[in-house]
Amino acid sequence: MAYVDSVSSILKPNNRLFILTRYGRRLPSAPTAVAVVFVILLLALIPGQILGRIVLLSYNGTPRFPNRIQPIVEPIVQNITMFLLIFLALWFWLRFSSKRPFWTLGLERQHAFVRLLRGVGIGLLMMTVTAGLSMALGASVAPGLWHAMGPAAVGIRFLSLISFFVQGPAEEVLFRGWLLPVLGARYRPWIGIISSSAIFTLAHGLSGGITALGFFNLFLFGVFASVYALAEGGLWGVGAWHAIWNWTEQDLLGFVSEGTQHAGLISNIQIAGRTVITGGSFGPEDGLAFTAVFLIAIGILSKLSRRSVDGQKDATGRDSR
Cα distance from N-terminal residue to C-terminal residue, the chain: 36
Q: How does the average pLDDT of the chain come out, rounded?
A: 88
DSSP string, 56-75: HB-TTS-BSS-TTTHHHHHH
pTM of the model: 0.91
Rounded Cα gap, residues 217 and 160, in angstroms: 25
Distances (CA, A) of 223 to 92, 199, 239: 27, 11, 14
Domain boundaries, the chain: 105-315
Rounded Cα gap, residues 217 and 285, in angstroms: 6
In this predicted structure, the answer to whether residue 194 has a pLDDT above a threshold of 90 is: yes
In this predicted structure, the answer to whether residue 317 has a pLDDT above a threshold of 80 is: no
130: nearest Cα among 286, 299, 11: 286
- Residue 18 near residue 229, CB atoms below 8 Å: no
227: nearest Cα among 217, 212, 237: 237
pLDDT band for position 1 (cuts 50, 70, 90): very low
* pLDDT for res 89: 96
The predicted-structure confidence for 40-88, as pLDDT tens digits, reads as follows 999 888 999 999 999 999 888 889 988 888 989 999 999 999 999 999 9
Higher pLDDT, 282 or 191: 191
